[in-house]
Structure 1
Amino acid sequence: MPPTHAFTPAERAYLAAQPLARLATTGPDGGPQVRPVGFVVNEDDTIDIGGPALSRSQKYRNAQARPEVSLVIDDMAPADDPVAAGWGRGVEIRGRAEVLTLDAPPMAPDFFSAEVIRIHPRRIISWHLEPDDGRARARNVDRFSR
């Protein structure tokens, strides 16, 4: 049986083409914190978020203390896009964060530290990436929910 992936081929292609996302965490006072972040999608469909001196950041401490997070990657489709010309499109990934130190940064090795926030997707919502009826596609990702 072939392996199943959390992301559709269209979502994976879109994510690979995007350089920037916004990570939402919950701060110590219970309020939201949203920050722009660099990211990569791993072969196992987890997402690594990096940054310079990441372990000293509030987003890292938030993810460590309250690991339920959301990551949004979106943009405006170009005017010649065959699916959603001129419309907003994107992917939201809700999941559980894990803080790790890798042997090397997964991106920008001359600038980013080896610490990452790794997101294990639990719910994926995408819009205007594939022909559809105008509604977002939402689904749970059971293999990461355990």
Structure 2
Amino acid sequence: MMLATARFFLVDPPGRAQQPYGQFVPKLDHGDTTILAIQHWLQATGAKDHGVPMLAGRAGMEERTFLRRFKKATGLRPTEYAQQIRIAKAREALELTRRPIEQIAWQVGYGDPSAFRKLFQRVTGLAPAEYRRRFGVAA
């Protein structure tokens, strides 16, 4: 409850960034049913093992057409969208579990914990360990 309230009010002592409180909210009201189906599929699979050729094939489109329509509908490239889904899942795991960061990285689809840490910090503004210290509720 505390975490949800803090995020809702974007509360943090002065001088700190608000970036860690942001949440990924996918754009689903764009009206492109084909892209919406891909978005739902990415969410259901945790955006693991995706590739533009595979996603374009799943959508029944050429790659360039798929990339253009996906970006227009969601505002993100497919790889950026998948990263946001994975980071959201990692945030949840860091908040609610005590599993090692390496295990969480692997669980959300990153084989290289170092790359995961860099991406996590770029998206949230905090290293995974610091994020857990600030927002973790697991005993």
Task: Give the TM-score category using the shorter length.
Answer: under 0.3
Normalized per residue, which structure has more helix?
Answer: 2
The normalised TM-score by structure 1 is 0.24
> Highest Rg: 1 or 2?
2
Task: Return the TM-score normalized by structure 2.
Answer: 0.25
